[in-house]
Amino acid sequence: MGKYINVPQSILGDLTATNPAALYASTLGTDGATEGKVTDSAALFETTDAVSVGDIVVITTAVAGYAARSWATITAVDSPTVLSVVGIGLPATGTGGLSASGTIFSVIAAADAYKCVVAAKDFPSVLQAGDWVLNTGTNLIYQVTSVPEDTVIMLNVPGGVLTGDTVVVLSSVGVGSVSVRVDNTTVIRGNVANGQLTLHYKRGATNQKLTIDPNDATITSDAFAIEFMRLAERAMKSQWTNVALQMPLIAGGVDGVLYADTLTWA
């Protein structure tokens, strides 16, 4: 068999979310600045939009001091154009984020706020609680809390995935990993300029190279390669002839997590 490192890859990649539509999606944004309030004169929160206490208001375009997908819970529907809210999407006192003017937002029904929905998928066959969903548009990652339906994943944070978002699903226990042999390599190298990992092999008179590119093409760190080499050294020192060690997901890059994206033989 040999000695292998199981390198994490996405279980499912580049999925387009088909979540239920927002109850209300602002186009011009908030147009009032009041502490603890979301104000939008174009809304009809009480009637047409059918907004209720407990629904979630999500910032969809980052504003000063508040990242996209910062959110707040509706505590009262004050009027057709004003909501009372509390949460990380606005300051406890003063105005900012959702309580400032000019913030683009959406209102998500409480029942849908924690969902990641993808049509025509069989999530229970490959996913479990503790796995991860990466939103590649916002570069934010969320933990799976349950998989209640074939097409539905429940996340640990509301508003993490909205309809139309692109997501990647990652395993917390190595499902989908690719096994890379290390006991017959001649050289293993990392490249700090692009995060790339290369393994060199010798087969008779032929030199072969396996190149593993992480998911972040802009990274200038060899953290991915360093972790691989640490595990490779551990595998090589093992007294056992046949070894397979699982490489974890590595923190880093614009997505906050690194995993193998492409593997290329040359």
By C-alpha distance, which of 198, 124, 116 is closest to 155? 116
Beta bridge partners of 198: 189, 211
Q: Are 216 and 259 in contact (CB under 8 A)?
A: no
| Non-local CB neighbours of 259 within 8 Å, separated by 6+ positions | 7, 8, 9, 10, 170, 214, 215, 249, 250
Query: Could you list the pLDDT tens digit for every one of the 266 residues in the chain?
Result: 799 999 999 999 899 999 999 999 999 999 999 999 999 999 999 999 999 999 999 999 999 999 999 999 999 999 999 999 999 999 999 999 999 999 999 999 999 999 999 998 999 999 999 999 999 999 999 999 999 999 999 999 999 999 999 999 999 999 999 999 999 999 999 999 999 999 999 877 777 999 999 999 899 999 999 999 999 999 999 999 999 999 999 999 999 999 999 999 98
Q: Are 138 and 70 in contact (CB under 8 A)?
A: no
Domain(s) labelled CATH 2.40.30 in the chain stretch across 24-108
pTM tops 0.85, yes or no: yes
Domain(s) labelled CATH 2.40.10 in the chain stretch across 11-19+113-170
Q: Dig out the tokens for 78 from the structure.
A: 């004050």
Name the CATH topology of 24-108. Answer: Elongation Factor Tu (Ef-tu); domain 3 (2.40.30)
- The domain 11-19+113-170 is placed in CATH, from the list 2.40.10, 4.10.860, 3.30.420, 1.10.287, at 2.40.10
Whole-number Å distance between alpha carbons of 9 and 110: 32
